[in-house]
Amino acid sequence: MPQSPRPRLSAAHRAAMEANPWFASMPRMQREGLLAAAELIHLRRGAMVFRQGDPVHAAGAGFFGLAGGSIKISTLRQDGREAILAVLEPGNWFGEISLIDGSPRTHDATALSALDLLVVPFDAFAQQMQGAPFARAVAALLAARVRGLYGLMEDATLRGLRARVARRLLALARGDATQSPDPRACVSLPQEALAMMLGVTRQTLSKELNALAKERVIALGYGRIELLSLEALQRLGITG
């Protein structure tokens, strides 16, 4: 029985991937090789890309590229409390850690919307890693992850809540995991999700956001936060 043709990557999907700073930094040969090795799949909102503890060779596992939609990377405590570590937007690649060390998945990856997802199987990823340019690119990706985690640890241990809120809003304005050099003027994220990122209650976060809104640093809307003064947020991120 003949196999169905693989779904093709659209121009919009390719543009989203090419706009990602990490992906764009690779030589074209490596970018094309990675896209050629990937299968495009579609997942509904709420679907789990993978769960914490999943083995690296689980069905459908691999190195993932987000071509459309958004994903939260999170962990769930035994009491049901959730911590959101990052929100991934189109263009981001993720899931490389387990492919490198062979250990189970470290966190949950859940679709916040319908997804168009590129999946590079384990063997194809390992083959790409044989090439020095791609291996260096993955090393750079991991270095960025480590820097981000150190930043979160520093914020949690050394900074007050006002500074943490300001710094997280600035990170989200740059696409969170994407960290684009050009921040956006609006963050589309429910306040409940932002509270989970900061490890505080929704009520505690609301007090901080309302104070910032009163000072005209931000403006609050339904499911969105307008950043009226990036400069003020940057100052608060250092001194708040």
pLDDT in tens, 103-161: 999 999 999 999 999 999 999 999 999 999 999 999 999 999 999 889 888 988 889 99
What is 11-147's CATH superfamily? Jelly Rolls (2.60.120.10)
d(CA 147, CA 149): 5
Going from N- to C-terminal start, the domains of the chain cover 11-147, 159-239
The span from the CA of 148 to the CA of 154, in Å, is 10
Query: Given this model, what pLDDT does residue 26 score?
Result: 95
Contact 190, 84 (CB under 8 A): no
Distances 90 to 65, 72, 207 between C-alpha atoms, Å: 8, 12, 31
Which residues neighbour 197 within 8 Å (Cβ) at sequence distance 6 or greater?
Answer: 83, 84, 85, 87, 168
Rg of the Cα atoms in the chain: 19
CATH code that applies to domain 159-239: 1.10.10.10
Residues 6+ apart with CB under 8 A from 143: none
> What tens-digit pLDDT sequence spans the chain (240 residues)?
344 456 678 999 999 999 999 999 999 999 999 999 999 999 999 999 999 999 988 878 899 999 999 999 999 877 778 899 999 999 999 999 999 999 999 999 999 999 999 999 999 999 999 999 999 999 999 999 999 889 888 988 889 999 999 999 999 998 877 778 788 999 998 999 999 999 999 999 999 999 999 999 999 999 899 999 999 999 998 876
Note the pTM of the prediction, 2 decimals.
0.88
What is the 3 state secondary structure string of 201-223? CHHHHHHHHHHHHHCCCEEEECC
pLDDT for 6 equals 62
- Domains 11-147 and 159-239 in one fold: no
